[in-house]
Amino acid sequence: MAGFLGRKVNLTWGGSAVLGIREKGVTINGEPIDVTSDDDNGWRELLAEAGEHSVDISISGVTKDDVFLTDLFAGNVQKEVELTWPNGKVLTGLFHLGTTSQTMPYKEATTFEATLSSTGEVTYTTGAAT
C-alpha cells in the first residue's frame, strides 16, 4: 500500500469541514467477549463475534473557528461525521462530541483538540487499491 499525506484525509462535522485540523487519529474497537471456562484448561477463549463495536476519532490543530466550543455549549453534541481518504475510502456515521479543549500559549498559535465517539453504526467504504 502506497503512503499518502495525512493532510489529504478530510473530516467533516455535520457536513462542514472543520478548519485548522493538523492531525487526525482513528481508533476502531471490536470489543471481544470472554467465554473462558474451566473446560479451557486456563487458556482464554473469545467469542468470534464482537460484543461491542465503536470508533473514536481524535483531532487537533490550529484554532480557526469555535465550531466545537459553540456546539458543546449549544447542546449540539451529535452530528454526522465523514472521514475521507485520498484513495476514496470513507468512514461515516453519527458521532458524539465528547471533549474539546483549547490551548493559548504565550506568543504562539492557539490550538484545539477534540474527541469524537461513534454512536450507532459506522459505515466504512473501501477505496481504490493503492
For 60-79, what is the mean pLDDT? 94
Residue-level pLDDT at 2? 67
For 47-71, what is the mean pLDDT? 94
Inside any domain, residue 22: yes
Inside any domain, residue 78: yes
E strands, the chain, where? 10-13, 16-17, 21-31, 52-62, 78-84, 90-103, 111-125
Each residue of 71-128: pLDDT tens digit?
Answer: 999 999 999 999 999 999 999 999 999 999 999 999 999 999 999 999 999 999 997 7
What are the CA-CA distances from residue 80 to residues 44, 70, 123 (Å)?
38, 16, 11
Type of residue numbered 55: V
Residue-level pLDDT at 129? 62
Each residue of 27-47: pLDDT tens digit?
Answer: 999 999 999 999 999 999 999
Residue-level pLDDT at 16? 94
Range of the domain at 68: 8-29+50-125
- CA atoms of 114 and 54, how far apart (whole Å): 17
Inside any domain, residue 93: yes
For 117, what's the count of Cα atoms within 13 Å in the CB-facing half-sphere?
6
Inside any domain, residue 38: no
Confirm if 39 and 104 have CB atoms less than 8 A apart: no
With 90 as the cut, is the pLDDT of residue 6 above it?
A: no
Q: Which helix (H) or strand (E) holds 70?
A: helix 67-74
What's the pTM?
0.88
Inside any domain, residue 35: no
Inside any domain, residue 130: no
- CA atoms of 73 and 77, how far apart (whole Å): 9
If one counts the domains in the chain, the total is: 1
Q: What is the CATH number of the domain that holds 70?
A: 2.40.10
